Amino acid sequence: MSDNKAKTGPQDASKISLSEDYEVQYWTKTLGVSREELEKAVNSAGNGADAVRAHLQRGAH
């Protein structure tokens, strides 16, 4: 089944995917960070949404 490009949120809200632009847009808006900050957080904390949130809240962005 292919991705539905009309979707604006993640396919799995517990994981952050950097491979789909609509998911990156969703997460940058939801977390209030730039794409670069999101990429750095995912690279540091992994792609789990809770881990990325915790990483960003620690002021590591």
Question: What is the pLDDT, as a whole number, of residue 17?
Answer: 93
**Greater model confidence, 7 or 14:** 14
- φ/ψ of 15, rounded to 5, equals -125, 145
Residues 6+ apart with CB under 8 A from 3: 11, 20
Q: Which has the closest alpha carbon to 23: 8, 36, 43, 37? A: 8
* Domains of the chain, residue spans: 21-57
Looking at the predicted structure, is the pLDDT value of residue 32 above 60?
Answer: yes
Question: What is the pLDDT, as a whole number, of residue 5?
Answer: 58
